[in-house]
Amino acid sequence: AQSVSQHNHHVILSEAASLELGCNYSYGGTVNLFWYVQYPGQHLQLLLKYFSGDPLVKGIKGFEAEFIKSKFSFNLRKPSVQWSDTAEYFCAVKGNNRLAFGKGNQVVVIP
Protein backbone atom coordinates (compact mmCIF):
# COMPACT_ATOMS: atom_id res chain seq x y z
CA ALA A 1 0.00 0.00 0.00
CA GLN A 2 1.15 3.52 -0.66
CA SER A 3 2.10 5.98 2.08
CA VAL A 4 2.51 9.73 2.09
CA SER A 5 4.87 11.86 4.16
CA GLN A 6 4.48 15.55 4.80
CA HIS A 7 7.10 17.34 6.85
CA ASN A 8 7.02 20.49 8.94
CA HIS A 9 3.50 19.99 10.19
CA HIS A 10 3.22 23.60 11.39
CA VAL A 11 4.36 26.47 9.19
CA ILE A 12 4.07 30.13 10.17
CA LEU A 13 5.02 32.85 7.72
CA SER A 14 4.31 36.45 6.85
CA GLU A 15 2.23 37.73 3.97
CA ALA A 16 4.16 37.95 0.69
CA ALA A 17 6.58 35.25 1.80
CA SER A 18 7.08 32.22 -0.40
CA LEU A 19 5.67 28.87 0.66
CA GLU A 20 6.87 25.39 -0.16
CA LEU A 21 5.36 22.27 1.36
CA GLY A 22 7.07 18.95 0.85
CA CYS A 23 5.29 15.73 -0.04
CA ASN A 24 6.98 12.38 -0.51
CA TYR A 25 5.26 9.12 -1.24
CA SER A 26 6.16 5.49 -1.40
CA TYR A 27 4.58 3.42 -4.11
CA GLY A 28 6.24 1.62 -6.96
CA GLY A 29 3.51 1.86 -9.55
CA THR A 30 1.73 4.57 -11.47
CA VAL A 31 0.29 7.23 -9.20
CA ASN A 32 -2.11 10.11 -9.38
CA LEU A 33 -1.18 12.98 -7.10
CA PHE A 34 -3.33 15.59 -5.40
CA TRP A 35 -3.12 18.53 -3.05
CA TYR A 36 -6.21 19.35 -1.04
CA VAL A 37 -6.77 22.41 1.14
CA GLN A 38 -8.96 22.69 4.23
CA TYR A 39 -9.74 26.25 5.30
CA PRO A 40 -10.70 26.77 8.95
CA GLY A 41 -14.09 25.25 9.61
CA GLN A 42 -14.53 24.07 6.06
CA HIS A 43 -14.26 20.81 4.17
CA LEU A 44 -11.49 19.57 1.96
CA GLN A 45 -11.25 21.19 -1.45
CA LEU A 46 -9.10 20.17 -4.37
CA LEU A 47 -6.21 22.57 -4.97
CA LEU A 48 -4.53 20.81 -7.88
CA LYS A 49 -3.81 17.37 -9.28
CA TYR A 50 -1.37 15.53 -11.48
CA PHE A 51 -2.18 12.56 -13.69
CA SER A 52 0.23 12.73 -16.59
CA GLY A 53 1.99 15.15 -18.89
CA ASP A 54 3.75 18.29 -17.72
CA PRO A 55 5.10 17.55 -14.23
CA LEU A 56 4.62 21.18 -13.22
CA VAL A 57 0.96 21.59 -12.37
CA LYS A 58 -0.80 24.90 -11.90
CA GLY A 59 -3.69 25.01 -9.47
CA ILE A 60 -6.13 27.53 -8.12
CA LYS A 61 -5.19 30.64 -6.13
CA GLY A 62 -1.65 30.81 -7.50
CA PHE A 63 -0.53 27.42 -6.22
CA GLU A 64 1.61 25.05 -8.24
CA ALA A 65 3.20 21.68 -7.61
CA GLU A 66 5.99 19.78 -9.29
CA PHE A 67 6.06 16.03 -9.69
CA ILE A 68 9.61 14.65 -9.56
CA LYS A 69 9.31 10.96 -10.26
CA SER A 70 12.92 10.13 -9.35
CA LYS A 71 12.43 11.66 -5.93
CA PHE A 72 8.89 10.35 -5.36
CA SER A 73 7.94 13.91 -4.53
CA PHE A 74 5.10 16.31 -5.29
CA ASN A 75 5.95 19.55 -3.52
CA LEU A 76 3.48 22.42 -3.35
CA ARG A 77 4.58 26.02 -3.87
CA LYS A 78 3.22 29.52 -3.87
CA PRO A 79 5.57 32.44 -4.51
CA SER A 80 3.70 35.00 -2.40
CA VAL A 81 1.16 33.95 0.23
CA GLN A 82 -1.79 35.92 1.52
CA TRP A 83 -3.51 35.91 4.86
CA SER A 84 -6.38 33.99 3.25
CA ASP A 85 -4.02 31.08 2.55
CA THR A 86 -4.15 30.16 6.23
CA ALA A 87 -5.36 26.58 6.10
CA GLU A 88 -4.34 22.98 6.39
CA TYR A 89 -2.87 21.42 3.27
CA PHE A 90 -3.01 17.71 2.51
CA CYS A 91 -1.04 15.81 -0.06
CA ALA A 92 -2.73 12.67 -1.38
CA VAL A 93 -1.55 9.85 -3.58
CA LYS A 94 -3.72 7.41 -5.44
CA GLY A 95 -2.24 4.10 -6.32
CA ASN A 96 -3.85 0.70 -6.45
CA ASN A 97 -7.28 2.33 -6.37
CA ARG A 98 -6.85 3.78 -2.88
CA LEU A 99 -6.30 7.42 -2.02
CA ALA A 100 -3.79 7.86 0.80
CA PHE A 101 -3.44 11.19 2.57
CA GLY A 102 -0.52 12.71 4.37
CA LYS A 103 -1.06 14.07 7.86
CA GLY A 104 -1.25 17.62 6.59
CA ASN A 105 0.61 20.90 6.97
CA GLN A 106 -0.99 23.57 9.16
CA VAL A 107 -0.07 26.87 7.53
CA VAL A 108 -0.63 30.17 9.33
CA VAL A 109 -0.03 33.40 7.41
CA ILE A 110 0.52 36.46 9.56
CA PRO A 111 -0.77 39.73 8.09
Q: Which is nearer to other proteins, 61 or 103 (CB)?
A: 103
Helix (H, G, I), strand (E, B) or coil at 9: coil
Binding mask 29-48 for other proteins (x = CB under 8 A): ---x-x-x-----xxxxx--
C-alpha R_g of the chain: 13
Binding mask 50-89 for other proteins (x = CB under 8 A): -xx-------------------------------------
CB of 104 closer than 8 Å to CB of 39 = no
**Among the candidate windows 10-18, 57-65, 67-75, 95-103, which touches other proteins by CB under 8 A?**
95-103
**Among the candidate windows 20-28, 59-67, 70-78, 98-106, which touches other proteins by CB under 8 A?**
98-106
Distance of CA 86 to the CA centre of its chain: 14
Q: Which of 49-60 are b and which e, b meaning 16 or more Cβ less than 10 Å from the residue's Cβ?
A: bbeeeeeebebe
Helix (H, G, I), strand (E, B) or coil at 71: helix
Judged by the rule CB under 8 A, the positions of this chain that interact with other proteins are 32, 34, 36, 42-46, 49, 51-52, 90, 94, 98-104
